C-alpha cells in the first residue's frame, strides 16, 4: 500500500430524497425515489422527468449548486469547531470540462460561493477536481497525499452536480440515453451534493477506511460503437484490490454509480467475470442512483455516504466493500473500503 488508509469521519448529503445524509441513506435503504416533472420537454412534447432537489428557497444554476454544497459541508463539519474549519483543504469535485452547457466560470465561481455561504476561507491546499463521476476517487487520492505528507491531518471532499440543464438533457435525448416511456435503456437525470470529512479517527470502536484506489480507461466508452470488454474497469478494480491486499472473492458487496443504462451493468458483469476466481453464493450490488437519478460528479459522495451509513448502522452485508465509478469519456475508478476496529 502506497500510504496509510484514510477513514471517513463524517458525511453530508443533499439529494432529491433527503436534505441530510441520514434521511437520504434511509431512502436508499428503502429504495425510495421522488422523480418529478421538469420544465423541459422532449422531442415528442412530453415533460422530462428528473430527480430534483427541493430547497426551502427556490434557486437555480450556480446559486443552487453552491447552496446544496454548503448544506452538505455544514452537515459534515458539524463536530468541527468553527476556528478549525479554515485549516481544512477543500477538494471540490464538479462536472467534467466537456459537459454540454457547462459554464467556463463554474469552478472558481462555485468555490467562492461555497466559502461565502459558509463564512469560511479554506486552506490554500484546496483544489478543484473537474472530473465528473470519477472525481471523488481522484480527490481521495489527493487527500491521501495531503495527509501522508503532513500538509493536512484532515481533508474535506465536496461534490456537487446537476444534469438539469437543457444543453445536457437535449444531448442525452438525442443520444437516446434518457429514460422515457419509449426508452427503457436510459437513465433519469438528477442533482445532488455530498461532503466527506476524512482523517484518522480518535477514540474506540470502528471506522470505514479507504484501503485501495485504482484507475483505468475504457477504450469503448458508452457513446462509441466499439466492442465492450470492460478493460478500463477491470484495470481499475484490479489495481484497487491489489493495493488493499484483497481478492475479488473476499469482497462482501459492491456499490456502483450505475444509473440505469444497460451498458454500465454489462460492463460491471464483464469486469466481475474476469476478476472473480472463487465462486460466491451471493454478490450483491447496490446503486443509489436508483433513488437519486444520475447525479454526475456527486455520485461518489452518495455512494460513500451510503457505505458509511450501512456500516455504522450495522446493515452492511460485510466489512469489505468495492466501489466502482465510470465516466462517459471512458475514465474508470475503483475504491476498496473496509470497516474495521480502530488500532
- For domain 206-341, the CATH superfamily is Thiolase/Chalcone synthase (3.40.47.10)
Domain residue spans in the chain?
6-199, 206-341
- pLDDT at 319 > cutoff 60: yes
Per DSSP, what are the bridge partners of residue 11? 196
pLDDT, tens only, 86-122: 999 999 999 999 999 898 889 989 999 999 999 999 9
**Rounded Cα distance, 91 and 224, in Å:** 31
pLDDT score recorded for residue 17: 98
Helices (H), 77-165: 82-85, 106-118, 135-148
* Residues present in the chain in total: 343
Q: Which residue bears the cell 444534469?
A: 163
Q: Partners of 10 in the beta sheet?
A: 197
Q: Answer yes or no: CATH 3.40.47.10 is held by domain 6-199.
A: yes
2 has pLDDT over 70:
no
269 — phi, psi (to 5°)? Answer: -70, -40
pLDDT at 3: 59
Please state, in angstroms and rounded to a whole number, the distance separating the CA atoms of residues 93 and 96.
9
The answer, yes or no, to whether residue 1 has pLDDT greater than 50, is no
Question: pLDDT tens digits, residue range 194-219?
Answer: 999 999 988 778 999 999 999 999 99
And the C-alpha cell for 131?
472530473
Please say whether the beta carbons of 164 and 191 come within 8 A.
Answer: yes
Question: What is the C-alpha to C-alpha distance for residues 103 and 121, in angstroms, rounded to an integer?
Answer: 23
pLDDT in tens, 19-53: 999 999 999 999 999 999 999 998 888 999 999 99
**Going by C-beta distance under 8 Å and a sequence separation of 6 or more, which residues neighbour residue 124?**
none
- How many other CB atoms are there within 10 angstroms of residue 23's CB atom? 14
230-252 pLDDT, tens per residue? 999 999 999 999 999 999 999 99
Of the chain, the percentage scoring pLDDT greater than 90 comes to 90
Read off the pTM.
Answer: 0.96
Would the pLDDT of 224 be above 60?
Answer: yes
Amino acid at each position: 500500500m502506497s500510504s496509510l488508509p484514510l477513514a471517513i469521519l463524517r458525511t453530508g448529503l443533499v439529494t432529491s430524497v433527503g436534505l441530510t445524509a441520514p434521511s437520504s441513506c434511509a431512502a436508499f435503504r428503502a429504495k425510495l425515489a421522488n422523480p418529478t416533472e421538469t420544465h423541459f420537454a422532449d422531442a415528442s412534447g412530453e415533460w422530462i422527468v428528473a430527480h430534483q432537489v427541493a430547497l426551502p428557497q427556490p434557486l437555480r444554476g450556480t446559486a443552487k449548486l453552491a447552496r446544496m454544497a454548503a448544506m452538505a459541508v455544514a452537515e459534515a463539519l458539524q463536530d468541527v469547531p468553527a476556528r478549525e474549519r479554515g485549516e481544512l483543504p477543500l477538494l471540490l469535485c464538479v462536472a467534467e470540462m466537456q459537459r454540454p452547457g457547462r459554464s467556463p466560470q463554474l469552478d472558481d465561481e462555485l468555490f467562492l460561493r461555497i466559502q461565502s455561504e459558509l463564512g469560511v476561507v479554506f486552506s490554500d491546499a484546496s483544489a478543484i477536481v473537474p472530473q465528473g463521476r470519477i472525481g471523488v476517487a481522484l480527490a481521495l487520492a489527493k487527500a491521501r497525499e495531503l495527509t501522508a505528507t503532513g500538509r493536512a491531518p484532515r481533508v474535506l471532499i465536496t461534490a456537487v452536480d446537476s444534469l438539469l440543464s437543457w444543453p445536457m438533457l437535449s444531448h442525452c435525448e438525442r443520444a437516446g440515453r434518457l429514460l422515457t416511456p419509449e426508452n427503457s435503456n436510459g437513465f433519469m437525470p438528477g442533482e445532488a451534493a455530498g461532503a466527506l470529512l476524512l482523517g484518522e479517527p480518535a477514540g474506540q470502536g470502528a471506522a470505514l477506511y479507504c484501503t485501495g484506489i485504482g484507475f483505468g480507461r475504457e477504450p469503448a466508452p458508452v457513446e462509441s460503437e466499439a466492442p465492450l470488454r470492460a478493460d478500463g474497469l477491470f484495470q481499475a478494480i484490479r489495481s484497487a484490490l491489489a493495493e488493499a491486499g484483497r481478492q475479488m472473492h473476499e469482497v462482501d458487496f459492491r456499490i456502483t454509480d450505475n444509473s440505469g443504462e444497460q451498458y454500465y451493468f454489462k460492463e460491471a458483469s464483464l469486469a466481475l467475470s474476469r476478476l472473480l476466481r472463487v465462486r460466491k453464493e451471493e454478490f450483491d450490488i447496490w446503486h443509489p442512483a436508483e433513488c437519486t437519478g444520475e447525479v454526475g460528479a456527486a455520485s461518489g459522495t452518495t455512494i460513500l455516504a451510503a457505505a458509511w451509513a450501512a456500516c455504522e448502522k450495522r446493515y452492511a452485508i460485510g466489512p469489505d466493500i468495492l466501489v466502482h465509478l465510470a465516466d462517459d469519456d471512458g475514465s474508470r475508478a475503483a475504491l476498496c473500503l473496509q470497516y474495521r476496529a480502530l488500532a
